């Protein structure tokens, strides 16, 4: 069936390094993608989104890249900080599905060492 | 704070108990959602409500009963649950963006343990 999945379940980096978290999706009709961050004991927090008519979108210290040809999504975090340690989820949606029904990946655990 | 609150934050209940989870959003959104988050599994959508009307029931067992009295409040009534229902239950809300997309904001969740 359709799914959204992550290549790496865990990622450990040193403080100050750049982090890259990857996500593969299989639904060719997906046209909206969101990255969420979930810290322990909290709900997922919206980080950044991108629509399928874009290849790249930048936020504060974060960049999302979308490669529709290979159905791949990545989240880049610049100058990673200990506060960035969390589980990161990608989620996808197809326009016209029931009120933004999202399909989530399993998540990548990012650990930032000081 | 995302503008979505959930109570209680933690709940322990026996299999014969009846309890309810509450969600409230202060964002003026029109769509609300219940998700289940279990260990080592992706978030699972349970229900979707838009303007108080249920638009999605993702094959959820009848022991979970949602209620949406208005666009700001969402409840999940629980009865005769099973231990495998223990999970983090997340509420989210969203508003339609230009282009027909929905940006969802999540509450902190209710950690449910069924004994």
Among B2, B99, B105, beta carbon nearest to A95: B99
- Closest chain B residue to A32 measured between Cα atoms? B101
Instruction: Indicate if the pLDDT at residue A94 is higher than 50.
Output: yes
Among A45, A91, A103, beta carbon nearest to B2: A45
* pLDDT confidence of residue A7: 46
* pLDDT confidence of residue A27: 85
- Closest chain A residue to B103 measured between Cα atoms? A100
Length, in residues, of chain B: 115
- Closest chain A residue to B58 measured between Cα atoms? A101
Q: Distances in Å between the alpha carbon of A10 and those of A39, A82, A88, B10, B27? A: 14, 15, 10, 27, 33
Pairwise CB contact (< 8 Å): A100 & B90:
no
* pLDDT confidence of residue A3: 47
DSSP B85: G
Whether the Cβ atoms of residue B50 and residue B56 lie closer than 8 Å to each other: no
Instruction: Indicate if the pLDDT at residue B14 is higher than 80.
Output: yes
Which residue out of B94, B104, B105 would a mutagenesis test of the A interface target, given it has the greatest number of A Cβ atoms within 10 Å? B104
* pLDDT confidence of residue B40: 67
* pLDDT confidence of residue A60: 93
d(CA B83, CA A84): 33
> Can you list the pairs that A41-46 forms with residues at least 24 positions away whose Cβ atoms lie under 8 Å?
A41/B108, A42/B108, A42/B109, A43/B2, A43/B4, A43/B6, A43/B90, A43/B92, A43/B106, A43/B107, A43/B108, A43/B109, A44/A89, A44/B43, A44/B90, A44/B106, A45/B2, A45/B106, A46/B2, A46/B103, A46/B104, A46/B105, A46/B106
* pLDDT confidence of residue B34: 96
* pLDDT confidence of residue A95: 66
Convert the pLDDT of each residue in A51-71 to its tens digit.
Answer: 999 999 999 999 999 999 999
Length, in residues, of chain A: 114
* pLDDT confidence of residue B39: 79
């Amino acid at each position: 069936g359709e799914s959204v999945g992550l290549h790496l379940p865990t990622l450990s980096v040193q403080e100050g390094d750049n982090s890259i978290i990857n996500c593969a999706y299989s639904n060719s009709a997906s046209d909206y993608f969101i990255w969420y961050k979930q810290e322990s004991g909290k709900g997922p927090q919206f980080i950044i989104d991108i629509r399928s008519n874009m290849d790249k979108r930048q936020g504060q210290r974060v960049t999302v890249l979308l490669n529709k040809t290979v159905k791949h999504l990545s989240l880049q975090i610049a100058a990673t900080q200990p506060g960035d340690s969390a589980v990161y989820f990608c989620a996808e949606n197809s326009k016209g599905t029931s009120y933004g029904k999202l399909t989530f990946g399993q998540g990548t655990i990012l650990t930032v060492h000081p | 704070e995302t503008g979505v609150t959930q109570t209680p934050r933690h709940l322990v209940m026996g299999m014969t108990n009846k309890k309810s989870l509450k969600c409230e959003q202060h964002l003026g959104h029109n769509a609300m959602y219940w998700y289940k988050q279990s260990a080592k599994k992706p978030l699972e959508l349970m229900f979707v409500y838009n303007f108080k009307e249920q638009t999605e029931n993702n094959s959820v067992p009848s022991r979970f009963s949602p209620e949406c009295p208005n666009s700001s409040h969402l409840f999940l009534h629980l009865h005769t649950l099973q231990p495998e229902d223990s999970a983090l239950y997340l509420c989210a809300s969203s508003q339609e963006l230009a282009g027909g997309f929905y940006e969802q904001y999540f509450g902190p969740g209710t950690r449910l343990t069924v004994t």
